């Protein structure tokens, strides 16, 4: 007779659980620090909090939560379509971009297929591929974390269905040049998933290439610049031929009513978005300038910066920051990131000042 645990798909056993950034509650409990004295710069959230218009929309839609939302979040989809400049039937929705990735895995990944992942990068891709029984193939980024297009293209074979590219990349912060993306799209017959979670903070975006290429899917989210990470709203821009298939495979009602209402309001709040982006640009320059005499700061196009704290270990630096009530991210849990990289979300000006003062003390010690 089988043991009950034998019923689990073998591919699930190979998954290393996703490591999220630490929470304020965890640090308050673990280090005896008052929650109001802790700053959370480990998860690339919006330090300004939510848009007041989104909060108001949540309040006024709260009486409707006994009713299912529209199955395809149509009202939000059409506003997002306008926002990205694509027709509505090229935009798909998910519970966060993670949800979009999951649905795409249902469409394209099964045992015997592979997905190429350029490391170090966002760890959920690997989990999503393995959960569908696919095989992740890892191609390391170069020393400056740019993508070696030849290495990517030569690693693609007939069973490689998908290539994950993240731009700006988490955790390194650099963007993919348009010519590199085009080269990969031109030279490969796999589908490319371009993750643009942080694109609002970057100088360029490559979404428009989805007009030219029928093998490009772009992932987007309302978790970062739109500030509603807690509601889990993500979307994708897909080629026409994928749209119908996506709608067959997605969970119905993937985006909840509150998420739709808050998403619509956040998109309307251009003033909030402008403040958010300005805060990131100013804070990013400040942190980079202040810290670059003490460690290597990688240039970033995102709402975070990555630092090399060598010869110190990232775990040691992050732990010391935690004892001072500052949550930053140890990149050790990112495959191929090594033991010396840390990632810091751009905070508000007073938070950035505290990060600089505390971190310089630690790096000097």
Ligand X SMILES: Cc1ncc(COP(=O)(O)O)c(C=O)c1O
The tokens describing 182, both together, are 């085009």
Contact residue for ligand X among 221, 250, 301, 314 (CB under 6 A): 221
User: Residue 195, interface with ligand X (CB under 6 A)?
Assistant: yes
Q: Which is nearer to ligand X, 69 or 259 (by Cβ)?
A: 259
103, 114, 166, 222, 259 from 92: Cα distances, Å: 10, 23, 19, 13, 15
Query: What CA–CA distance (Å, rounded) separates 10 from 293?
Result: 48
Residue 250: CA count within 13 A, CB half-sphere: 27
| Residue 39: count of CB within 10 angstroms of its CB | 24
DSSP H or E run through 69: none
Contact residue for ligand X among 167, 223, 314, 358 (CB under 6 A): 223
Q: How many residues bind ligand X (CB under 6 A)?
A: 13
Scanning 95-103, 132-140, 289-297, 347-355 for contacts with ligand X by CB under 6 A, the matching segment is 95-103
Contact residue for ligand X among 122, 145, 246, 272 (CB under 6 A): 122
Computed over its alpha carbons, how large is the radius of gyration of the chain? Answer: 21
User: Residue 328, interface with ligand X (CB under 6 A)?
Assistant: no
User: Residue 166, interface with ligand X (CB under 6 A)?
Assistant: yes
DSSP H or E run through 59: helix 52-61
User: Residue 170, interface with ligand X (CB under 6 A)?
Assistant: yes
User: Residue 98, interface with ligand X (CB under 6 A)?
Assistant: yes
Report, in Å, the least distance between residue 215 CB and ligand X: 20
The tokens describing 343, both together, are 């990632």
Contact residue for ligand X among 42, 234, 259, 263 (CB under 6 A): 234
User: Residue 96, interface with ligand X (CB under 6 A)?
Assistant: yes
Report, in Å, the least distance between residue 157 CB and ligand X: 26
Q: Considering Cα of 270, then 275, then 279, then 285, what sign does the dihedral take?
A: positive
Residue ranges with strand state E in 63-187? 91-95, 114-119, 135-140, 160-166
Q: Which is nearer to ligand X, 108 or 125 (by Cβ)?
A: 125
Report the residue number whose CB is nearest to ligand X: 96
Q: Which is nearer to ligand X, 103 or 223 (by Cβ)?
A: 223
Query: What CA–CA distance (Å, rounded) separates 264 from 252?
Result: 19
Scanning 57-65, 90-98, 254-262, 319-327 for contacts with ligand X by CB under 6 A, the matching segment is 90-98
User: Residue 226, interface with ligand X (CB under 6 A)?
Assistant: no
3-state secondary structure of 78: helix
Please check whether residue 243 is in contact with residue 215, taking contact to mean a CB–CB distance below 8 angstroms: no
DSSP 330: E
* Contacts to ligand X from residues 257-316, by CB under 6 A: none
Contact residue for ligand X among 38, 76, 93, 97 (CB under 6 A): 97
Q: Which is nearer to ligand X, 222 or 261 (by Cβ)?
A: 222
Number of residues that make up the chain: 365
* Contacts to ligand X from residues 41-70, by CB under 6 A: 44
Report, in Å, the least distance between residue 166 CB and ligand X: 5
DSSP 171: T
Query: Which parts of this chain interact with ligand X (CB under 6 A)?
Result: 44, 96-98, 122, 166, 170, 195, 197, 221, 223, 229, 234
């Amino acid at each position: 007779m089988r043991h009950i645990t034998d019923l689990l798909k073998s591919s699930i056993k190979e998954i290393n659980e996703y490591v999220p950034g630490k929470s304020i509650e965890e640090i308050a409990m673990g280090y005896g620090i008052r929650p109001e004295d802790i700053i959370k710069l480990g998860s690339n959230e919006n330090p300004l909090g939510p848009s007041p218009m989104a909060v108001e929309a949540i309040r006024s839609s709260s009486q409707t939560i006994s009713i299912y939302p529209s199955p395809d979040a149509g009202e939000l989809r059409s506003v997002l379509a306008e926002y990205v400049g694509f027709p509505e039937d090229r935009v798909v929705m998910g519970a966060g971009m993670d949800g979009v990735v999951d649905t795409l895995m249902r469409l394209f990944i099964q045992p015997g297929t592979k997905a190429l992942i350029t490391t170090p990068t966002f760890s959920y891709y690997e989990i999503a591929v393995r959960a569908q029984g696919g095989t992740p193939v890892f191609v390391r980024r170069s020393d400056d974390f740019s993508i070696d297009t030849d290495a990517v293209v030569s690693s693609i074979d007939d069973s490689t269905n998908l290539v994950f590219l993240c731009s700006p990349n988490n955790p390194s912060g650099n963007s993919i040049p348009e010519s590199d993306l085009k080269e990969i799209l031109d030279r490969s017959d796999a589908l490319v998933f371009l993750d643009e979670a942080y694109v609002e903070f970057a100088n360029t975006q490559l979404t428009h290439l989805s007009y030219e290429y029928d093998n490009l899917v772009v992932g987007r989210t309302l978790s970062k610049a739109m500030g509603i990470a807690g509601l889990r709203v993500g979307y994708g821009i897909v080629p026409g031929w994928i749209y119908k298939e996506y709608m067959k495979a997605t969970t119905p009602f993937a985006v909840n009513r509150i998420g739709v209402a808050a998403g619509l309001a956040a998109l309307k709040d251009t003033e909030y978005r402008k403040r958010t982006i300005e805060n990131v640009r100013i804070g990013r320059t400040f942190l980079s300038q202040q810290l670059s005499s003490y460690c290597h700061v990688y240039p970033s196009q995102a709402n975070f910066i990555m630092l090399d704290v060598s010869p110190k270990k990232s775990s040691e630096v992050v732990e010391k920051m935690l004892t001072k009530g500052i949550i930053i991210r140890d990149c050790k849990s990112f495959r191929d990131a090594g033991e010396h990289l840390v990632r810091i979300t751009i905070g508000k000006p007073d938070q950035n000042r505290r990060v600089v003062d505390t971190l310089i003390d630690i790096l000097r010690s």
